[in-house]
Amino acid sequence: MVPELRVLWEPVLLRDDEEGTIHSPGAFPTEAEAQKLLDVWRAEGRREPMAISVVNVYDTGEDCQADR
């Protein structure tokens, strides 16, 4: 049986050169919830580049290897 693929949506602040993450507060079960946090950051005046990272959730390392 193939496990159901689960994902989390992680809002992140990026370095100005976009070569890495400078802040990641956590992850959300939907893209819409992650987007809400980006909207809050913008409303607070944050100007760093922002993104939403999609993270696959696996039960085991073997599941991850099988998905490669």
- Does position 2 have pLDDT exceeding 80, yes or no? no
Q: Residues 26, 10, 52, 30: is their CA dihedral positive or negative?
A: negative
Give the H/E segment covering residue 32.
helix 31-43
pLDDT tens figures, 11-43: 999 988 767 778 888 999 999 999 999 999 999
The CA radius of gyration of the chain, in Å to the nearest whole number, is 14
Q: Six-digit token pair at 64?
A: 């991850």
Q: Give the position of tokens 């990641």.
A: 24
Give the predicted TM-score (pTM) of the model: 0.78
Q: Six-digit token pair at 1?
A: 């049986």
